[in-house]
Amino acid sequence: MDPTQFETHPSKYKHWKLAVGGDTATLTMAVDAEFPHRPGYELKLNSYDLSVDIELADAIQRIRFEHPEVKTVVFAAELDKVFCSGANIYMLGLSTHSFKVNFCKFTNETRLYLEDANTSSGLGTLAACKGTTAGGGYELALACEDIMLVDDGNSAVSFPETPLLAVLPGTGGLTRLVDKRKVRRDRADVFCTTAEGIKGKRAKDWGLVDAVVSRSNWDKTVAERASSLAAKQTVVRGPAVELPALGAKITDKAFTYRSVELTIDRAARTANLTVKGPEGPPTDLTSADTWSLRAFRELDDALLRLRFDLPEIGVVTVRTQGDRAAVIAHDEALAKATTGFAREIRLLQRRVLKRFDNTARSFYAVADRADSCFAGSLLELALGADRFYMLIDADEAIAVQTSVANTGFFTTSTGMSRLDARFYGEPANVGKVLARGAEGPISSEEAEKLGLATVAADDIDFADELRIAVEERASLSPDALTGMEASLRFVGPETLETKIFGRLSAWQNWIFTRANSTGEHGALTLYGQPERPQFQWKRT
């Protein structure tokens, strides 16, 4: 199978049209049925697949970095009576289980990035649903600040997954319905089991949309509402910085970028991820080539390729290489910068680290070289890994160090920092670690005593201990590990975000493998065919 291409550009879009005018950007969904992610189905009625969401993710990121003048994003559709019919059912029916779950995960991460643009970057978001808005189409609308539905006696919003497909809205729709929009749960129950959905005044009264507007007043009302949302925004963004292509070299054995490399051992079902630190101190925080942005964009791309193109890889060792002081200098320069561009870099770093948290692979951070640089923003990778192994060396050259980047900006899905999560039962240790890290490097033995390292071992034991740990992990059930890791990584309070990903890991993993949905006579398997699904009626 050809490697998945996660990079694109508005000039290459097949499914979206991006237009910027003044303080408003309009993203028009115009899905070309003839260009699916892979052959075998057509993307009819503005249904979407991974290719559509890759373009959407790119558009959101480019608006944030390249168009600081934009204060409102309007989501519209080119089809007159259909906004979006949701994820393409035939695509789901043809996909592997792993692909379906990762597709849902990527789609939801994109919607969370859109919501973050609203809350952190001063971007108003308006879903202008001039037609049927079903399934994933309504989930996109739910990710927006404001939802308008055309009042034409026919257009409705709906979640038809349960009655039609025996599955669930896969990208957080149920959680957003009751937690974010605070729809009464009995009404939500009716809504989610009514295949044709709810339209007009009832949709407004139930809180499913914010306004219903006649066709005759549609364009005027959309423009007025977009202007009103823009007027509310007070966050200053910019300057505008164009995001260049990453120029990755992708082979069967490795994904190679300037600062990131993922090497693959298919026989052992393992990989090694190396992130290189900056080559020197920060000199330009106005360029897309600055290490803090480029390296994390590369890491993001590598993680996505790992998810979609390497499903057989179960364990990933994570290493860093470079100068700790240079990493810390870049972190400090970014923290002191007051531009909107610097803020967007920090927000992108936070999103990529969350992508790391949400990736269903076992991550073992490893510091076994003198030039290991788990410091500041790169220390977050060790704190987010499932385990951290450090080699004890006589010169104490192998060490970790904290920076301003570890003081709480890079929050996890729980809203806690990774240090807070690590010392959830011992909060005083967070201050102790930050104070010690500010003094200088922390050796392997001290890192173990402070609780930063899982295992610190000398050169007599280290290689064997790490090898055995990796081999043992690779021998365990990947399904059990996915559930275990998702349960252990999100220490702390439940949030909308942890609910979404926890349920995605558990419910969707389970439901997508049940005969009622994907079995020979399942609803998803038989969708579009004359044969009716045959359900197994036993409730667990």
Domain identity same for 100 and 161? yes
Q: Is the pLDDT of residue 179 over 80?
A: yes
401: left (phi over 0), alpha (psi -120 to 50) or beta: beta
By mean pLDDT, which of 220-224, 449-453, 495-499 is the weakest?
495-499
In a domain, 494, yes or no: no
Give CA–CA dist 304/520, Å, rounded.
Answer: 31
Q: Is the pLDDT of residue 509 over 90?
A: no
Strand partners for 47: 86
Residue 52, SS3 per DSSP? helix
Structural domain span for residue 291: 249-481
Percent of the chain at pLDDT exceeding 90 = 89
Domain identity same for 396 and 341? yes
Residue 506's pLDDT is what?
A: 76
pLDDT in tens, 81-115: 999 999 999 999 999 989 998 999 999 999 999 99
Task: Tell me how long the chain is.
Answer: 540
Domain identity same for 208 and 308? no
Compute the average pLDDT of residues 221-246. 96
Q: One-letter amino acid identity for 199?
A: K
**Tokens, residue 274:** 């190396």
Give whole-number Cα distances, 273 to 298, 362, 381, in Å: 11, 12, 11
Domain identity same for 278 and 193? no
Domain identity same for 209 and 271? no
Compute the average pLDDT of residues 285-292. 94
Please give the distance of CA 384 from its chain centroid, rounded to a whole number: 15
Residue 2, SS3 per DSSP? coil
Compute the average pLDDT of residues 498-523. 85
Domain identity same for 157 and 272? no
Give CA–CA dist 92/306, Å, rounded.
Answer: 20
The count of structural domains within the chain is 2
Q: Is the pLDDT of residue 505 over 80?
A: no
Domain boundary (173, 203, 232) is at 232
Rg (CA), the chain: 24
Percent of the chain at pLDDT exceeding 70 = 100
Domain boundary (198, 232, 266) is at 232
By mean pLDDT, which of 55-69, 203-217, 274-288 is the weakest?
274-288
Give CA–CA dist 7/61, Å, rounded.
Answer: 11
Classify residue 37 by its DSSP letter: S
Domain identity same for 265 and 369? yes
The CATH number linked to 166 is 3.90.226.10
The contacts of residue 127 (CB under 8 Å, 6+ apart) are 75, 83, 133, 140, 141, 144, 146, 147, 148
Residue 355 neighbours by CB distance under 10 Å: 19
Residue 502's pLDDT is what?
A: 84
Confidence of residue 504 (pLDDT cuts 50, 70, 90): confident
**Tokens, residue 159:** 């979640």
Residue 532's pLDDT is what?
A: 92
Report yes or no: 492 and 415 within 8 Å, Cβ to Cβ.
Answer: yes
Residue 333's pLDDT is what?
A: 96
Residue 1's pLDDT is what?
A: 62
Domain identity same for 443 and 299? yes
Return the ∠ at Cα 433 (arms to 432 and 438), rounded to 5°: 100
Compute the average pLDDT of residues 437-465. 97
pLDDT in tens, 338-355: 999 999 999 999 999 999
HSE-CB of 189 using CA atoms within 13 angstroms: 3
Strand stretches in 136-199, DSSP E: 146-150, 156-158, 198-199
Classify residue 159 by its DSSP letter: -
Compute the mean pLDDT over every residue in the chain, rounded to the nearest whole number. Answer: 95
Specify the residue for token string 């003198």.
370
Compute the average pLDDT of residues 190-217. 97
Confidence of residue 170 (pLDDT cuts 50, 70, 90): confident
Q: Is the pLDDT of residue 123 over 80?
A: yes
In terms of Cβ atoms closer than 10 Å to its own Cβ (0-12, 13-18, 19+), residue 539 is: exposed
In a domain, 501, yes or no: no
pLDDT in tens, 235-269: 999 999 999 999 999 999 999 999 999 999 999 99
Phi, psi of 156 (to 5 degrees): -140, 160
Residue 533, SS3 per DSSP? coil
Strands across the sheet containing 260-265? 249-250, 254-256, 260-265, 270-276, 315-321, 362-367, 387-391, 455-457
Give CA–CA dist 380/385, Å, rounded.
Answer: 8
